[in-house]
Amino acid sequence: MLKRLKLTFNFFLSSKRKFSVADTIIIIALGVLLYIGIEFALKGPIKVTGPNISLSPKSLPLYTLFSVTRMFTAYVLSIIFTLFYGRIAAQNRKAEKVMLPILDVLQSVPILSFLPVVVLSLRAILPQGIAAELGSVILIFTSQVWNMTFAWYQSLKTVPQELTEASSIFRLNGWMRIKTLEVPFAVIPLIWNSIMSWAGGWFFLMAAEIFTVGNKDFRLPGLGSYLQEAANKGNFTAIFFGIGTLIFVIVALDQLVWRPLLAWSDKYKLEMVEGEEPPTSWFYDLIQSSDIIYWIHTKIFMKINERIDTFLIKAGNRKEVLENEPEKSNRVMKVFILIIGAGFLYGIVKASNMLSVLAISDWLHLATGVLSTFTRVIISLIIALLWTVPIGVAIGTNRKVATFLQPLVQIFASIPATALFPVLLLFILKLPNGLNIAAVVLMLMGTQWYLLFNIIAGASAIPQDLKYTAELMKLSRWGKWKTLILPSLFPFLITGAIAASGGAWNASIVAEYVNFGGTTMSAHGVGAVISGATADGNYPLLLAGTLSMVVTVVLINRLVWRRLYTIAEEKYKME
């Protein structure tokens, strides 16, 4: 046992995923883009007038349609990005060295600190309605896409070798490999992470719909602005209708979309025998038994599918590479790189000038703030792991438990944490060190669901034949956990922990700086620095705080999570 631990520890230390030059370049580029956004924001209009939000229950259907449409648009963009980006990173080693650092940095970016810059800069070049709508879709997209991309990437990296060899023997081209091997193998974690993305997306949708900066009102008509307006006016009837509508939409999506998808995806589990309790869905059964749906499937979708297959197979078999004028293409590429490089150098100089106005005390305050926030992130992750692992395994392996708990989990995960936070503050602030406890609680509420849904996906994907083997071996309960459950969950745990860690850092922006009862309170941390700088319009401090958080999270990903990801890829493949 000690020898195995030593080998694992040595492998951990020798992992190739270290903080690289690529990380440095990407972080600098991100800082330049943030600076450019700040410059645009400074040139925006002085005053922006927002919409009038009606609290009539008759307005709720239209507001719900607006909110769901924003979520759906961001989700479609997330799926497209996930499938293309994740596959290129998983299949191309050279591209992986650049694309994974980019993904690490982007998922580490505190989204809420970028919201003012994004919306204000868009407003400087676009009409208000378009700028606010585009800003909301961008914000929701960035909250949905990273965990989905990591889940897709992790699935592609852990495809069993025998299945890969079989696809090579049958000479499957790229499209058929995606359709018959990669998507079926990854569909279960993709669906669970899609559920998580929608649940997390509600929080950022609400934030986007109620966004204001000083006298600039960028609110959007939707469920978020409806609930905020109702809370501001103390209209408890409207609050009841708003929350009731939100819960109704969440339950409807569970029954009409997610549960049917989970029932359909069960056939793609990697196992030799059928599960004892496959997931069920009344709506999926209804669709399966419908003659109209059967006719549409056979007469329309199957024919379209055949044509798409034929077209993509022919396109893949041609493999025509355009190499008519390589020298000219190289010259154009060099000129393009020079122009982009010159622009970034100019941005680096200007951003450095902006940061130079900060005093040493500001940087020391930032450094201690990073340490304080890091401590809260670790505490929230530990608490989340303590309850999400047993509950997630129970939901993923026991259909009776899943039938009862899954809708409740989705409802609680989808209710924005900030909606419950003021109620919790009434009790927590009375405790010793109350604000620090409140910050950990809000960070926990914003991160635990990433872990839970990934654990459920991992537990659901455990092959039934392995469960039978464990029973035949008469393993004890701890023996099953040690030899079957935990090794099977390990890749999913790491995927969830990466997303949860980034989510905790992001949640610190609203957890460490709160306005309660007309009083602004803050706990020492980098999140509070970013929120305070945003409120005060202190853009140099906002830039420094955001970059400090990004660098810290990227270092953690490189030194911890990426190394564990490598162990998951090499040691815990299901093959």
- Residue 71 sits in a domain of what CATH number? 1.10.3720.10
- 263 and 286 housed in the same domain: no
Give the pLDDT confidence score for residue 515 in this predicted structure: 65
Contacts (Cβ under 8 Å, ≥6 apart) of 167: 177, 180, 181
Bridge-partner residues for 59, per DSSP? none
- 387 and 509 housed in the same domain: yes
CB-CB contact of 369 with 522 (8 Å) = no
Distance CA 29, CA 345 (A): 9
In a domain, residue 2? The reply is no
Distance CA 226, CA 242 (A): 7
| Residue range 160-190, pLDDT digits in tens | 777 777 777 777 766 777 777 888 888 888 8
Distance CA 188, CA 198 (A): 16
Give the pLDDT confidence score for residue 226 in this predicted structure: 85
In a domain, residue 509? The reply is yes
| Residue range 188-218, pLDDT digits in tens | 888 878 887 887 788 778 777 877 665 666 7
The residue among 110, 206, 193 whose CA lies nearest residue 150 is 193
Over residues 565-574, mean pLDDT: 69
- 437 and 533 housed in the same domain: yes
Least confident of 107-121, 260-274, 368-382: 107-121
Which of 291, 317, 343 is the last residue before a domain boundary?
317
- 301 and 173 housed in the same domain: no
Over residues 2-23, mean pLDDT: 43
Show the CA angle centred on residue 201, arms to residues 22 and 558, nearest 5°.
25
Q: Quickly state the pLDDT bin for 574 (edges 50, 70, 90).
A: low
- The winner for highest mean pLDDT among 15-29, 151-165, 310-324 is 151-165
Bridge-partner residues for 514, per DSSP? 521
Over residues 513-524, mean pLDDT: 71
First and final CA of the chain: distance in angstroms? 23
- 232 and 298 housed in the same domain: no
Distance CA 508, CA 446 (A): 9
Give the pLDDT confidence score for residue 15 in this predicted structure: 42
- 236 and 382 housed in the same domain: yes
Over residues 233-243, mean pLDDT: 82
- The winner for highest mean pLDDT among 73-87, 258-272, 456-470 is 73-87
- 169 and 264 housed in the same domain: yes
Distance CA 152, CA 85 (A): 9
- Both tokens of 107, joined, read 């998922």
- 299 and 263 housed in the same domain: no
CB-CB contact of 392 with 195 (8 Å) = no
Least confident of 22-36, 399-413, 511-525: 22-36
Give the pLDDT confidence score for residue 375 in this predicted structure: 93
- 396 and 506 housed in the same domain: yes
Q: 415: which DSSP letter?
A: S
Q: Quickly state the pLDDT bin for 102 (edges 50, 70, 90).
A: confident
Sign of CA dihedral 37, 416, 73, 244: negative
User: How many domains does one find in the chain?
Assistant: 2
- 66 and 164 housed in the same domain: yes
In a domain, residue 306? The reply is yes
Q: What residue numbers bound the domain in which 294 lies?
A: 280-317
**Residue 275: is its pLDDT beyond 70?**
no
In a domain, residue 119? The reply is yes
Q: Is residue 514 helix, strand or coil?
A: strand
**Residue 443: is its pLDDT beyond 60?**
yes
In a domain, residue 344? The reply is no
- The winner for highest mean pLDDT among 426-430, 547-551, 565-569 is 547-551
Give the pLDDT confidence score for residue 550 in this predicted structure: 80
- Both tokens of 71, joined, read 């979520």
Q: Is residue 149 helix, strand or coil?
A: helix
- 404 and 307 housed in the same domain: no
Q: Quickly state the pLDDT bin for 333 (edges 50, 70, 90).
A: low
| Residue range 359-382, pLDDT digits in tens | 888 889 999 999 999 999 999 999
Least confident of 132-136, 408-412, 469-473, 571-575: 571-575
- 488 and 513 housed in the same domain: yes
In a domain, residue 10? The reply is no
Q: Is residue 515 helix, strand or coil?
A: strand
Give the pLDDT confidence score for residue 48 in this predicted structure: 60
In a domain, residue 415? The reply is yes
One-letter amino acid at 206 equals M
**Residue 524: is its pLDDT beyond 50?**
yes
Give the rounded distance of the alpha carbon of 490 from its chain centre.
Answer: 19
Q: Quickly state the pLDDT bin for 332 (edges 50, 70, 90).
A: low
Over residues 343-357, mean pLDDT: 76
Contacts (Cβ under 8 Å, ≥6 apart) of 164: 181
**Residue 45: is its pLDDT beyond 60?**
no
In a domain, residue 307? The reply is yes
CB-CB contact of 140 with 74 (8 Å) = yes
CB atoms within 10 A of CB 324: 7
User: Among all chains, which residue has been given the structure tokens 């303590």?
Assistant: 386
Over residues 289-300, mean pLDDT: 77
The residue among 120, 134, 112 whose CA lies nearest residue 42 is 120
The residue among 74, 83, 190 whose CA lies nearest residue 140 is 74
| Mean pLDDT, rounded, of the chain | 76
The residue among 558, 547, 543 whose CA lies nearest residue 21 is 558
